[in-house]
Amino acid sequence: MNTGSCLCGGVKFSVAAFEPLVGHCHCNMCQKFHGAAFSTFIEVKREHLHWHSGIHLLTHYRAKNDSERSFCQRCGSSLLFESKFNREQGTVEIALSAFDDKPNVTPDAHIYLENKVDWYTPNDSLCKYQGYRKS
């Protein structure tokens, strides 16, 4: 079982299993949401996500593109991302940095590189997409 929490420890959760998508997202919204050059999210099925405490502390922001981001209202930790695709598939994306012990997973792609910051260029062997992943 993979456990996670926000910075203040008010929100606690666990995940029983992960989906294979683990991406570094360079979109402008992820940059602002995380205060970093990119964010790393891992996808999970909703039924594999279990809340242990603090669900009442989650605050949600719905963007113009109908995506929703959830964070702890007490400490501001970025925790969840959900797009229309996620809602249709019954999944949610969790910030990889929110896990207490880092899961044994490896990111597989950089996405939305069309928005990457000028001062960082990925030089690894991961798949690189200008927008979302190609089918």
Looking at every residue in the chain, the average pLDDT score rounds to 95
Q: What is the CATH number of the domain that holds 78?
A: 2.170.150.70
Collapsing DSSP states into helix, strand and coil, what is residue 31? helix
55 found inside a domain = yes
118: containing domain:
2-128
In the predicted structure, residue 50 carries a pLDDT above the cut 60: yes
Q: Say if residue 67's pLDDT is above 90.
A: yes
Instruction: Return the pLDDT at 134.
Output: 78
Q: What band does 115 get if pLDDT is binned at 50, 70 and 90?
A: very high
Which residues have C-beta within 8 Å of that of residue 98, sequence separation ≥ 6? Answer: 4, 5, 6, 77, 78, 79
Q: What is the mean pLDDT of residues 89-116?
A: 95
> Do 99 and 3 meet the contact criterion of CB atoms below 8 Å apart?
yes
Q: Determine, yes or no, domain membership for 133.
A: no
Mean pLDDT computed over 65-88: 96
59 is a domain residue? yes
Cα(96)–Cα(1) distance, integer angstroms: 15
Q: Is residue 134 one of the residues assigned to a domain?
A: no
